[in-house]
Amino acid sequence: MTNNTPPKPHVAFLPSPGNGHITPLFELALRLVTQHNFQVTFLVITTGATLAQHNYFNAFKPLPDNLHLLNLPPADMSAFHLDHMTAVARLSVVVRESIRPLPTILSEINLKALVVDIFCTDAFDTCKHLNIPVYSFFTASAALMALSLYLPTMDNEIEGEFVDLPEPVTVPGCNPIRTQDLLDQIRNRNIDEYKWYLFHVNRLPMSAGILLNIWDDLEPVTLKALKHEKFFLNIPTPPVYPIGPLTKEIEPVLDDHDKEIMTWLDDQPKDSVLFVVLGSGGTVSSEQLTELAWGLELSQQRFVLVVRKPSDSPDASFFNAGSDPDDPRVYLPDGFVERTNGVGLTVCSWAPQVAVLNHQSTGAFMSHCGWNSTLESIKHGVPMIGWPLYAEQRMNASMLSEEVGVAVKVAVVGDGGETVVVGRDEVAKVVRMVMEGEEGKRIRKRARELEVSGKEALSCGGSSYESLARVIELWKSES
């Protein structure tokens, strides 16, 4: 008896290393398999993979039928001095070397499309030869997307450094960006970091479409500009599809360390706890960690503090996220853990972020404002204290406080864009403002409005659901 069932449409995904890139692409892959009857091959770059990456994938075992993880063989990086490279340069080189087997792999799969992130644009060349359409999943904000598309024009028309401009940068149709908030990658045009970022964003118009991890209500001004502003139409900008908020739905299996956190939260009043964690790869200096700890103690507010080894490099943990933790007491003021016992809980290196944000005791989130963490916080109706560290996080913190209205921004950036140490009194003041003050009530109300809006966007008939449905119809019709 012949089986006449047509094959499921097959899409592949290729994220660059780092959970901030992997998570949203994998969540979309899961959605395609479980809700839309697709087959998915998820290509995993194994070179330099972190423990956090392994833990994330392990949480999904066994994988759903029709979702296949394909580990790319480790690349030979002996010719490169990775430890001396900045983050974007290192990511770009690791991706370029890791995807050398891609032509062979993709030629053996009958693909409708390949979905890549911003640092995997080298895949455009392979797919052009194989006649496979490539879609870019831009895993940050629409505001950064618009700035990135505008960057080649800035590069051609502006002399000198962008940070020295006398006025904010105005992307056509978008809200102005203060020069001190510009992302790290474009603050110095003479370094590899800038050249690599410019290389990748120059190639974005080669995409068949751009997927954005936002929804219509979150960034309406920028989204309108991307779709209708003359500048973006003339590039031309590929079709833009807001399909978010796609965030981590499953935590790695809770161990005793995680269960201790959740049990402690169970004993706290509703909305009373400040969750303090500055991303999976973020670090602060020893001096700043001391001031942060003193500020939490002086605020007299309940908190869960995730402590990581301090460093003067804010992204020092990016390439070893989730590694074995140290005793946090080594890095904190003498007696801090003992003095705050009962009011606060101090944990090492890692916490089950989604579970904590989803807990009714969590009242606010002190965050680095990375885009995944931002969406997770809003998705659970939790307001933020923005403490940006690197990349585009300063842009995010300003937008979340001034435009979206879900955050209070800590003044960690000086007038020249330099990182400054925030003193304990200022930390205590901001914490009390958000946990007890009228400003905290206002941003909590707004966060809960967007929580509802985000759920509606992803529901059948919602704006993001329909946006993804349009992409799916395109993929199904690709010959």
Active site residue 117: yes
Res 115 pLDDT > 90:
yes
pLDDT at res. 19: 87
What residues does CATH 3.40.50.2000 cover in the chain?
Answer: 10-248+458-477, 256-455
pLDDT at res. 303: 98
Cβ count within 10 A of residue 167: 8
pLDDT at res. 324: 45
pLDDT at res. 53: 87
Question: When comparing pLDDT for 368 and 61, which is higher?
Answer: 368
Q: How confident is the model at residue 318 (pLDDT cuts 50, 70, 90)?
A: low
Apex 272 CA angle, 266 and 277, nearest 5: 85
Helices (H) and strands (E) in the chain, counts: 18, 13
Active site residue 228: no
Report how far residue 463's alpha carbon sits from residue 335's, in angstroms, rounded to the nearest whole number: 51
Percent of the chain at pLDDT > 90 equals 82
pLDDT at res. 313: 72
pLDDT per residue over 248-300, tens digit each?
987 765 788 889 999 999 999 999 999 999 887 778 999 999 999 999 999 99
pLDDT at res. 145: 98
Choice among 68, 84, 117, 192 that is catalytic: 117
pLDDT at res. 314: 67
pLDDT at res. 316: 54
pLDDT per residue over 35-59, tens digit each?
999 999 999 999 988 888 888 898 8
What CATH class is the domain 10-248+458-477?
Answer: alpha beta
Return the closest-CA partner of residue 385 out of 456, 440, 321.
440
pLDDT per residue over 137-194, tens digit each?
999 999 999 999 999 999 999 999 999 999 999 999 999 999 999 999 999 999 999 9
Q: How large is the average pLDDT for residues 111-125? A: 97
Question: When comparing pLDDT for 380 and 256, which is higher?
Answer: 380
Q: How confident is the model at residue 439 (pLDDT cuts 50, 70, 90)?
A: very high
pLDDT at res. 428: 98
8 A C-beta contact, residue 296 and residue 344 = yes
Q: How confident is the model at residue 110 (pLDDT cuts 50, 70, 90)?
A: very high
Residues ≥6 apart with Cβ < 8 Å to 113? 11, 12, 132, 133, 134, 135, 208, 475, 478
Report how far residue 200's alpha carbon sits from residue 371's, in angstroms, rounded to the nearest whole number: 19
Res 210 pLDDT > 80:
yes
What CATH topology corresponds to 256-455?
A: Rossmann fold (3.40.50)
Question: When comparing pLDDT for 309 and 242, which is higher?
Answer: 242
Return the closest-CA partner of residue 397 out of 375, 434, 369, 367.
369
**Phi and psi angles of residue 66, each rounded to the nearest 5 degrees, phi first:** 75, 10
Q: State the chain's mean pLDDT as an integer.
A: 93
Q: How large is the average pLDDT for residues 419-436? A: 97
Q: Which stretch of 25-29, 279-283, 306-310 has the lowest confidence by average pLDDT?
A: 279-283
pLDDT at res. 415: 80
Question: When comparing pLDDT for 84 and 324, which is higher?
Answer: 84
Percent of the chain at pLDDT > 70 equals 96
Choice among 10, 21, 83, 415 that is catalytic: 21
Question: When comparing pLDDT for 82 and 388, which is higher?
Answer: 388
